Every structure is written in C-alpha cells, then in structure tokens.
Structure 1
Amino acid sequence: MPLTNIYLIGPMGAGKSTIGRMLAKELARPFLDSDHVIEDRSGADIPWIFDVEGEQGFRDRESQVIEEICSQKGLVMATGGGVVGRPENRRNLSSNGFVVYLSAPVTIQLQRTEKDKRRPLLQRPDREEVLTRLLEERDPLYHSIADLVLDTEVLSPRQVIKRIIQAVGLGRE
C-alpha cells in the first residue's frame, strides 16, 4: 500500500495539521491541509469566506477541494473539522485512502484553540458549548469512516505517527 493516501480527520485542535506535517516529512510525502488549499485557491482566508459566502459557501469550496485531492496518490492530508458533514466528502475520503480520526476531548480542544482567531465557528463567547455540540454531531461521522482512531490527548505526536505508520503497513521491516 505504499501510494495510499493518509487522511487526518477530527475536531479543531486535535492536531491534524501538526501531525500531518510531521507524518508527511517522516514518509517523504507531500502534505496538504485542505483549509490552506481552499485559501490559496480562493485568494481569501477562511474567516473572510465565512463572512462573505457563509458556511454553505465554504463547505461547497471544501467539497470541491476534497474531491480533487482524493484523486491524487501518495499524500498526507489534514482536513477541516467539519469535512465529515457532507456524505460526498465522507465517501471520497473513505474510498480513496486510509482515514485516521485524531480525537481530543473538548477540554483539550479549548486549550489548543484558545488564542486562535482564524476559526470562524469559535469567534463567540460560548466556545465550550460550540465545541461540545460540534463533537456530539461529528463524532459518529468521524467514527463511521475511520480506519484508525487515535487520542491525541494521551498520545504524543511521535506516538501517533508511529501508530499510523504501523497501521498503514509502511513501517520498516
């Protein structure tokens, strides 16, 4: 399975981008962050897209990017937390690669996103309630397509990477 894509899914603050970059470097593969691809293609940052087009407009862009990236081979991709909300995204991810659900409890998500001003859904006073609701909605969807589930609260990034490499069968013999 050397050309299998590895997709990282999970909530905001779970470590998808950080672990994705480290994993890609370890495997000498290209790394893509779907949110960054959306920003690059639109010439605007995600908060601006949410302001102008709303969440629906952003999700339309996200679905297009996911479909395009899933047609490539041999890469590591970190996705946005809400990518699992659309059936076509779940289908594209699960049928075109190895899906790793990086989980983290709301308390950890709050700590890791505390100073982040680039997450439109968290620019409000009830951040904990928002993260709790999103996790309740999305957790079953993350599980529904995950080939592997890893808790980033208890595992270090190095441990997560090691487990992904073992699970995908890319470990050195």
Structure 2
Amino acid sequence: MKEIKRIFLVGFMGSGKSTLGRRLRTEMGWDFLDLDDVFEEKFKVKIKQYFSVHGEDAFRIAEKEVLKDVLDKERVIIATGGGTPCFFDNMDVMNNNGLSIYLKLSVDVLIGRLSGGKQVRPLVAGKSGQELRDFICAKLQEREFFYNKAQVVADAEVLGVEAFVQIIEASGKLI
C-alpha cells in the first residue's frame, strides 16, 4: 500500500482547492498550505504583481521552485495554483511525492464561482459573461490533459469533505 505524506489538490481556479484544503486540515489534523501563499511569502510580492513585472515564464519557473520547496513537508495538504500542474514536470513531481486529486467542475459551475470574484483573479478581471465562458472553455481545454494525470479525479460538484477523506484513506497509508 502506498504511503501518503502529502496531498496535492489540483484544478481550475475557483474549483475549491483552498476551501477543501482547509476543511481537510480540520478533518484530518494535517497542515494546510496554499501554494500561492507560499509563493508570496517566499518572494515577498503578490503573484499579480510578480506576474505583471516578470511575465508568465518567470512566474512559472519560480512557481516550480516553490513546489519543490514544499516537498520537504509531511502530513500536509497543498492547494496548487490552477496552472501549476500544466508546466514543466510539475504533475509528475506531485504524483511521485504524494496523492494528487483533481477537483473537477463543469464550466457552468466555474462560471458561477468566478463571475463573483473577477476583481480578485486577474486572469478573469473585466471579462463579460460570454468572454468568461470562452476563457474558461479555452483554458480547460488546454489544462485538462494535465489535470487528468492526477491519481484521483473527483467530481467536486457532488462530493463533500467526508467523501474526500474516504477517498484519501482508500488511496494509501497515511503517514
């Protein structure tokens, strides 16, 4: 049986990675890290600002470094950025160092979640309803190949925290 020391939550922005991660922390008694928060703490700058000053390529390189930084932690649930699994070998790194779970949601649910948070998320800021739908559809088409490499693909629309705990426990021996 596989030993699980880390859980990586992957999925599109707005899929509930951070929310689920905090709830799993409470249920499981493990630590929780949001990779975006770890990034901002390490580089002493907001991701939006880093992105605009240095560009996406530099951001993705720095993000990979932050992902590797958290691999020394154990008994931790890690919410990744929406694009984290899609660059370099990040998905393989996660699969080789823990249990990866893709929180899968429909386009309509993602639109509902993201339309209220456009100010907070620079990639969707200022997008109208149709523009937001087109953006989500295009990005999901690019990213789902990587998300589907997760060891667990879970319907995040119907599963509650207890179901995720059961999935995690059934996936291996928790360290």
Assess same fold via TM > 0.5: yes
Match of 1:122 in 2: 124
Unmatched tracts of structure 1, length 5 or more: none
Residue 16 of structure 1, CA deviation:
0.5
Match of 2:45 in 1: 44
Match of 2:167 in 1: 163
Q: Is the 8 A contact 1:70 1:92 kept in 2?
A: no
1:25-84 deviation line (CA, Å, top 9, x unaligned): 211111001011111122222221222112222212211000111232221100001011
Q: Is the 8 A contact 2:102 2:153 kept in 1?
A: yes
1:70-119 deviation line (CA, Å, top 9, x unaligned): 23222110000101121321221111001111111111111112222222
- The correspondence for 2:138, drawn from 128, 133, 138, is 133
The whole-number CA distance in structure 2 between the counterparts of 1:81 and 1:95 is: 19
Please show how residues 79-98 of structure 1 align to structure 2 within 5 Å: 79-98=80-99
Residue 13 of structure 1 aligns to a residue whose secondary structure is coil
**Residue range with higher mean Cα deviation, 60-69 or 152-161:** 152-161
Pair 1:149-2:153 in alignment? yes
The whole-number CA distance in structure 1 between the counterparts of 2:72 and 2:146 is: 22
Q: Is the 8 A contact 1:50 1:120 kept in 2?
A: no
Q: Is the 8 A contact 2:5 2:74 kept in 1?
A: yes
Query: Which letter does structure 2 place at the counterpart of 1:130?
Result: F
TM-score under structure 2 length normalisation: 0.87
Cα–Cα, structure 1 residues 69 and 103, in superposed 2: closer, same or farther, change >3 Å?
same
- Coordinate RMSD, CA, aligned: 1.8
Residue 151 of structure 1, CA deviation:
0.9
Q: Percent identity?
A: 33
Residue 140 of structure 2 aligns to a residue whose secondary structure is helix
Q: Is the 8 A contact 2:4 2:173 kept in 1?
A: no
TM-score under structure 1 length normalisation: 0.88
**Residue range with higher mean Cα deviation, 147-156 or 133-142:** 147-156
Alignment size in residue pairs: 169
The whole-number CA distance in structure 2 between the counterparts of 1:91 and 1:78 is: 16
More contact order relative to length (CA 8 Å, sep ≥ 6)? 2
Residue 2 of structure 1, CA deviation:
6.0
Match of 1:108 in 2: 109
The whole-number CA distance in structure 2 between the counterparts of 1:67 and 1:40 is: 15
Query: Which letter does structure 1 place at the counterpart of 2:121?
Result: R
Match of 1:29 in 2: 30
Q: Is the 8 A contact 1:6 1:77 kept in 2?
A: yes
The whole-number CA distance in structure 1 between the counterparts of 2:165 and 2:136 is: 25
Match of 1:7 in 2: 8
